[in-house]
Amino acid sequence: MTSPSPLRRVCVCIPTYDEAHSLPKVVARLRRAVPRVDVLVIDDASPDGTGDLADVMARSDPQVHVLHRAGKEGLGPAYLAGFAWARQQGYDAVVEMDADGSHQPEQLPALLSAADAGADVVIGSRWVPGGSVHRWPLHRKVLSVGANTYARLALGIPVHDSTAGFRVYRTSGLREITTGDVASQGYCFQVDLTVRALEHGLAVVEVPVAFVEREEGTSKMNDAIVREAVLMVGVWAVRRRTRQLREHLGRRGRSRWQYLEEAP
């Protein structure tokens, strides 16, 4: 890693859809745990009034901001909108964090420390030594471990928890990896940005965290999200292998041509 610039301004992006009950608790915990960070609530026109509640919170706390979107478009587009807002405001880093309390704000200082040490991307990982998952049934654990193993082997990446959604990105790195089409909508968005970061040579670090399943509300995980992840990872794997094969054949072709030119 190169000598890092200090993270003076950090924005925590929290996408919301029907999280009126959990959002105030999460933001309060975050403001106590890391008072220096700002918060951006990205609300997709929640019918339960989450956006209005976020506006009330913003009026009472200058470090809380709200970005209202026209409707529910998925996790990926919500984060991209938040990233763009944070870059425009001059933040040095952005944080991805869920609104349901599964990502514990008290663990954010460990992720920020890794970024301060030089990482471009810091992933709060459940599946490295020291990481853990609480209140998940066995089938959810099997699904998550299987999905991450599939992504790691299919894409040839070293990351153990590429689907994790508790992250820190330096905005300088985000500028590189979000240029162009980021088409993934659900949790596959996390895998997409992980691969892009590695392909651009960014320093990606995993820090163990304890993931705690929400006690209230409804999980956003569904069969469509799983299908998208399986399909997209497969497509990316084929593209990656095809590109590697073309590069290999191109190098062999250049070497053969050079040999013929140099032969007596």
Count of alpha carbons within 13 Å of 147, Cβ hemisphere only?
23
- At 217 the pLDDT is 57
Domain 10-262 is found in CATH 3.40.50.720: no
Confidence of residue 224 (pLDDT cuts 50, 70, 90): low
Instruction: Count the helix, strand and coil residues of the chain and give each as a percent rounded to the nearest 5.
Output: 45, 15, 35
Cβ atoms of 232 and 191 closer than 8 Å: yes
Locus of tokens 């995980």: 221
Helix (H, G, I), strand (E, B) or coil at 12: strand
Strands 132-134 and 93-96: unpaired
Q: What are phi and psi of 165, to 5 degrees?
A: -110, 10
pLDDT of residue 1: 46
- Distance in angstroms between the alpha carbons of the first and the last residue of the chain: 46
> What is the pLDDT, as a whole number, of residue 30?
98
Inform me whether the pLDDT recorded for 248 exceeds 70: no
Tell whether the model's pLDDT for residue 137 goes beyond 90. Answer: yes
C-alpha–C-alpha distance, residues 146 and 234, integer Å: 14
Query: In the numeric block, which tokens belong to residue 262?
Result: 């140099």
CA dist., res. 181 & res. 245, Å (int): 23
Residue 186: CB atoms within 10 A of its CB come to: 20
Greater model confidence, 215 or 71? 71
Average pLDDT, the chain: 88
Q: What is the pLDDT of residue 175?
A: 85
Token representation of residue 68: 């209202």
Would you call 65 helix, strand, or coil by DSSP?
strand
Residue labelled with tokens 């651009």:
200
Q: According to the model, what pLDDT value does residue 250 have? A: 67
What whole-number distance in Å separates Cα of residue 188 and Cα of residue 221?
Answer: 11
Sheet holding 64-68, edge to edge: 64-68, 38-43, 10-16, 93-96, 167-170, 121-125, 204-208
Strand 93-96 and strand 10-16: the pairing is parallel
